[in-house]
Chains A and B, each alone.
Chain A
């Protein structure tokens, strides 16, 4: 198992370098190939009607006049060793991992991302708990009561959950519960360290809206897995041996049905930790998702690189953890 983890970590580092290279090529090289020169690129980061000397100063400051391989090399070096940046009167050291300074705000990217990360983690983690408990429970009950009213209602609701996008259910939730009935007024992120109750209250709507979408998927997945598993011979054997029904369902049925759930859960959580974009934009929460949207809208390349790398990191780590948990859940799997 230790060898497996070390091998996966090495592969993860290699994968992140590849992701950084692809992202760099997309955002730095492709515009050049499309005919954009460094002067034109610099004009985007200066105010209206700049003088040529102002554009040139920005061009030099942001390194656009340097060869692309130099710019990429500087970026990688910053991640590993950090970098020095001038803010005018003084020079500051940006410690590793340094993803550079925002072209727009001239503030370091990493602290900005770390400042936004708790919002995304709060939304993703809370929704994950809800959708896992809710989705799996409903899936199990539906499978056990196949064909019943409960089964049809829950699967019908699951279909609605899968079909309705977050920006629709989120806006409906805000309209009803925040603006009209004021059960959740002024939904905005409050740090858990500042006011845990307000933190939770303001996250209830985003949690429910996001969990509604995923719970639907998990309910259907769990139901399908349980139906398949509960029809197996060993389940019949377990019942014939006189085991309690609850033990049959949980220890033998659900455990076997969980393996695809675990895989999907890891991927979903990893993706969400990189930014629940639609949820954050709908509820105006400044997390990594909103950070990503603004970085793209502002063409802020260091921010785009930073958030892409961070999102890739979460997915890679999530995948690795899923594989480890897989070995725990399924005794047949060994590394």
Chain B
């Protein structure tokens, strides 16, 4: 019977046409928006990298965030994600903070809760901060120096609050303090390396001079916590606020709602704003769903701040109206390969240099998403947004980005492997970009006779059991390991220490995977710790970077970039240089 068949085909064609029309459209939502007052704001691609988009003091509205997973913790003392350090400024204020401004000035440390940056004494062994008077918690009680001390004490309770960094344990004089939950002193103020001579003064006593200490206290771990309100592992459910907002409700791993903190004084915190009437964070939202909701104006900001997914990226870059609401932001990450200095034959400098020359940096960049989604080809260890960065290129990464086979072969001759050698490459098998990059590296190195076998590992155990376990690395001939790194603070120490200092090598969770233990480099780190001059320190960081690259311990791939999308309804949007994403502390809605 022909009629039913023709009708069936027609029906199928109609459905297919509908689907194709939907998929081929330039995306939903308006590309330029009107504010409630009727004024339009035109923006351009990348505008937020260097300027404030939609500047406005308008109050009101609901600012919505979405994220595809969950924070490690909403407790400012127990989180180690960049986006959370950014977000917690909405409900907490640390002793010092970063200046809220677009461009490189976002790397500048300025006073937060304290009246000034730390006053250094006792030959660099004491750092004193004076708190601004009149600052209150969200419940109206005054903030004292003891509340800041208690917050620092909490960072020692690793069995209860394991996520945050351990800088205080390493730098202060009382490393064996058991934490406030095992503190036997009457008022739980048993940490002897932090003293509070009066209600507005706090003094940190260091074991050794450390000139970067201001950066350490800029971490949210110094957001004050009133001891009587501390609920340990449950504090994340409702921390007491010193920021412009406070918790209204938090359904763990689902939805967090913030409302204005009526006890916050704008004069107390000039780097944050209180504009929206409500802030809502939806967690565990499918990543592609986040992008589609952003483009449909159903969501304001992707909290993770690591850029849109591949499908949305293609839509945005193909559509002029969507593209003008996006920014290609430097994220502060470097993607790279560690070249192990202990695994033969890469323990020979010339063999490592052969890898540097042979690698095809263009293909590696493509594997990471190309210039826009991946980033710019790197030639140094420190990315450009790190204080102390100096541009140099020892292995022609930017002048001959497809590789230099001749120089690679010459290096192989020098290291006694004229026909090449074999080694294994470790990478994270659940990260498509690293998979593609490993394949590109394998192909490039094979041109000069270096045979690499790819060894993929799941990212959850990559640092703990495999690439970050030196015994495993040696036993399995992992001469090359994929890595990615971002700084805890934007200077050379924050970026380089954990990946280059000899005393950072650990039996598990090791991040100095190349196992560089150079006395000269270690001495430079020690020298920088004792140097207060920023200019002098920057020169040291540049020297360390140069030493690492001249020893060919790192094969840089890209200075990572993220394509961020900003809902046109959001105000005061700009990329914060330190966090590598939009500054969440100043946003509002039209």
Contacts and interface: CB of A to CB of B under 8 A. Distances in A.
Interface of A: 35-36, 39-41, 43-55, 57-58, 60-61, 86-90, 104-107, 112, 115, 149, 152-153, 156, 171-172, 174-176, 178-180, 182, 185-186, 188, 281-284, 286, 290, 294, 297-299
A199 to B, nearest CB: 15
Nearest to B4: A149
Contact of A153 (B8, B164, B293, B461): B8
A179 B283 CA distance: 19
Given A47-B165, A54-B158, A284-B285, A294 B469 contact: no
B460 A107 contact: no
A251 B254 CA distance: 47
A284 B284 contact: yes
Nearest to A156: B8
Contacts of B160: 61, 86-88, 106
A57 B162 contact: yes
A282 B23 CA distance: 17
Given A88-B160, A105-B252, A176-B18, A299 B460 contact: yes
B406 interface: no
B231 A182 contact: no
B483 to A, nearest CB: 13
B158 A286 contact: no
A88 B284 contact: no
B293 A47 contact: no
Contacts of A86: 160, 181, 232
A52 B509 CA distance: 10
B508 interface: yes
Contacts of B158: 46, 50-51, 53-54, 57-58
A50 B102 CA distance: 32
Interface string B120-146: 000000000000000000000000000
A271 B301 CA distance: 35
9 contacts: A51-B166, A57-B158, A149-B7, A152-B4, A175-B23, A179-B28, A284-B282, A297-B69, A299-B460
Contacts of A35: 465
Given A61-B159, A87-B234, A294-B69, A49 B509 contact: yes
B181 A89 contact: yes
A54 B162 contact: yes
Contacts of B28: 179-180, 182
A40 B465 contact: yes
Given A44-B461, A89-B231, A176-B18, A282 B286 contact: yes
A175 B511 CA distance: 42
B96 interface: no
A87 B22 contact: no
Interface-centre pick from A35, A106, A107, A294 (highest chain B CB count, 10 A): A106
B253 to A, nearest CB: 7
A88 B162 contact: no
B157 interface: yes
A180 B21 CA distance: 10
A116 to B, nearest CB: 8
B464 to A, nearest CB: 4
Contact of B169 (A40, A53, A107, A297): A53
Given A87-B231, A105-B253, A176-B22, A44 B460 contact: yes
Contacts of A298: 460
Given A172-B19, A174-B292, A284-B285, A49 B498 contact: yes
A179 B295 contact: yes
A123 B511 CA distance: 44
B233 interface: yes
A136 to B, nearest CB: 24
A290 B508 CA distance: 30
B284 A182 contact: no
Interface in B1-48: 4, 7-8, 18-19, 22-23, 25, 28
A86 B160 CA distance: 8
A40 B166 CA distance: 18
Contact of A290 (B164, B284, B288): B284
Nearest to A171: B288
Given A47-B165, A89-B230, A286 B284 contact: yes
Contacts of A48: 80, 165, 511
Contacts of A52: 506
A41 B464 CA distance: 8
Nearest to A290: B284
A55 B162 CA distance: 8
Interface in B480-526: 498, 504, 506-509, 511
Given A49-B511, A153-B4, A185-B298, 14 more contacts: A44-B460, A44-B461, A44-B464, A46-B163, A47-B162, A47-B166, A49-B509, A55-B508, A88-B180, A104-B72, A105-B73, A174-B292, A178-B296, A284-B289
B277 interface: no
A67 to B, nearest CB: 20
Given A51-B169, A107-B233, A185-B298, A180 B25 contact: yes
A294 B509 contact: no
A55 B28 CA distance: 48
A45 B508 contact: no
A153 B15 CA distance: 14
Interface string B530-552: 00000000000000000000000
Given A39-B508, A149-B4, A90 B169 contact: no
Contacts of B235: 88
B262 interface: no
A177 B447 CA distance: 51
A112 B232 contact: no
Contacts of A178: 292, 296
A89 B508 contact: no
A87 B508 contact: no
Contacts of A174: 289, 292
Nearest to A106: B233
Interface in B205-233: 230-233
Contacts of B504: 49
Given A44-B461, A47-B165, A51-B166, A179 B284 contact: no
A175 B292 contact: yes
Contact of B233 (A44, A50, A88): A88
B170 interface: yes
Interface-centre pick from B80, B166, B236, B509 (highest chain A CB count, 10 A): B509
A90 B232 contact: yes
A328 to B, nearest CB: 39
A61 B157 CA distance: 11
A90 B180 CA distance: 12
Nearest to A281: B286
A282 B289 CA distance: 8
By Cβ-Cβ distance, the 6 closest A-B pairs, closest first, are A88-B232, A54-B158, A106-B233, A61-B159, A57-B159, A43-B464
A186 B159 contact: no
A171 B161 CA distance: 39
A175 B289 contact: no
Nearest to B293: A186
Nearest to B284: A286
A212 to B, nearest CB: 13
B72 A47 contact: yes
A286 B70 CA distance: 11
B431 to A, nearest CB: 13
Given A49-B498, A90-B232, A112-B252, A36 B465 contact: yes
Given A174-B289, A180-B22, A186-B298, A47 B80 contact: yes
B399 interface: no
A171 B164 CA distance: 37
